[in-house]
Amino acid sequence: MGEHSNSEFFTAEERALSAEFLSNGFIVSDAESPKILESISDNISQITKNWLSNNNLGNKTFDLANSHEFVPNDQLNDLRLTIFAEINKHADIRQRYFSLARNTLSSLVGNELAMQNKVNVSIQQPNDESSVLPMHSDIWTGDSPFQVVLWVPLTDASKSNSMFFLPPNKSREARQRVAAGEFNSMDQIEIEYKSQLITMDVSYGKVLIFDSSCLHGNVLNLTKTARWSMNCRFTGLLTPFTNPERRLGTYYLPITTRAATKMGLSLLGSQEG
């Protein structure tokens, strides 16, 4: 199958998006529904406000970007766990999250998708060493190589409060060198590829979709503002799911199964199949 074997079946717009994604490993676009983005941000703010008052840390309304004025870094993890539990109690949170990038995901991944069972929340407050996530590939923790991450900032993300990313060609090389045992630690790879890392610049109102097999991570936030972001994973529904801990039906859940697939699956599961 040639690289461009069926590209003439795409619209010019789809071709351009696909080429950009394959070459850069990521796409930044506008959230497809600013209203829904705001509703998610409001939910997170409310959960945080409740947590602050339950912990006697105040009851003022504040910008998430200034959370470090209220949330001590040593209590961040407790807040993070609370938000994760509470936001995922909203029955429609995954539907709302998906609707932030439904069209772009459809172009890049397909219109028949599986989605991670929960949405995740990251908080990177200024000078908080404990939240730094070293360079990694999500495939190293068993995530699907067919996976993209939809990453949505709730505050403007840039410079050291954002995340870094190693482009696909360099990531491929780095993964091969890791597999060959060339490095003793993640730090060593990060140092080796430092000059080739891209810092994501994604302001509130935009979304980032990235190839999570590419190496990525974050650094100590040396800016004056906190970064709050969410992330969740998507794959094509009918792609191989080979890792027992990343199965379809548990870690990934079908979200947009089409009629013909339901038709075929029901036959496969019957005596006739």
Residues at the site binding Fe ion, with contacts judged by CB under 5 A: 138
Nearer to ligand AKG, 71 or 230 (CB): 230
Q: How far is the CB of 36 from ligand AKG (least distance, A)?
A: 20
Binds ligand AKG by CB under 6 A, chosen from 65, 70, 86, 138: 138
Determine whether 187 is exposed, middle or buried from the number of CB atoms within 10 Å of its CB (0-12, 13-18, 19+). Answer: exposed
Residue 209 vs residues 26, 79, 120, 153: alpha-carbon distances, Å: 6, 26, 15, 11
CB of 258 to ligand AKG, least distance (A): 27
CB atoms within 10 A of CB 97: 23
Using DSSP's 3-state secondary structure scheme, residue 169 falls into helix
- Within 10 angstroms of residue 119's Cβ, the number of other Cβ atoms is 22
Binding mask 197-236 for ligand AKG (x = CB under 6 A): ---------------x---x-x----------x-x-----
Cβ closest to ligand AKG, residue 155 vs residue 218:
218
The encoded tokens of residue 261 equal: 């697939």
| Whole-angstrom distance, CA of residue 163 vs CA of residue 73 | 19
Q: Contact between 171 and ligand AKG (CB under 6 A)?
A: no
Residue 163 binds ligand AKG (CB under 6 A) = yes
Residues that bind ligand AKG (CB under 6 A): 122, 133, 138, 149, 151, 163, 212, 216, 218, 229, 231
